Amino acid sequence: MHEPARITETVADRFTRWCAAVVARLPLGLNRLVPATFLGFALINSFTFGVDLLLLTVFHGWWGLPVWLSVTVAYVCAFGLSFVLNRTFNFHSHAPVGRQAAVYGVVVAINYAAFILGVGSGLTALGLQYHLARLLAGACEAVYMYSAMRWIVFRREPKSELAPHAA
């Protein structure tokens, strides 16, 4: 007797389905403008941003490490976690991880230089409290990172449609 193949829904599948259901209920036509991956990104990156702030507090606030070092180590940890969670739960990528990780590394390096060092450290140097500076830098980087992850890092290759050849 031959058993039919079973399709098992993963936690990642349920996460995606839940995001799509929430987006489908958005008012004022927003459901047609906001992709489910945007909500997924917002949820995942809010969590990893919390990890970033927690680590920043531990490294700088409790252990007294310099702000630049604390921000850097917390950032690297949080963005590594973000990559894994977004790849698995939000974008469901099955592309080779090595290439994606390399592209992600470049995207993160640009983000780090522009928003973390540029905006975050700049605001701290101007006297703004380091948590508030990090929050403002985080708002800027969120727009950049979602765009880069959706259209560069985890972009989906267009499905080739075979047109019938004319004889």
pLDDT at 98: 94
Share of the chain above pLDDT 70, in %: 90
* Domain contains 121: yes
pLDDT at 159: 60
* Domain contains 79: yes
pLDDT confidence tier of residue 158, bands split at 50, 70 and 90: low
Mean pLDDT of 116-143: 89
Q: What is the pTM of this model?
A: 0.77
| CA atoms of 51 and 63, how far apart (whole Å) | 16
pLDDT confidence tier of residue 42, bands split at 50, 70 and 90: very high
* Domain contains 11: no
pLDDT at 47: 96
Range with the lowest mean pLDDT among 6-10, 39-43, 68-72, 86-90?
A: 6-10
Residue 36 has pLDDT above 60, yes or no: yes
Q: How many domains does the chain have?
A: 1
Q: Is residue 151 within 8 Å of 38, Cβ to Cβ?
A: no
Q: Is 139 exposed, middle or buried (0-12, 13-18, 19+ CB in 10 A)?
A: exposed
Q: Which domain holds residue 115?
A: 36-153
* Domain contains 161: no
pLDDT digits (tens, 9 = 90+) for 13-26: 999 999 999 999 99
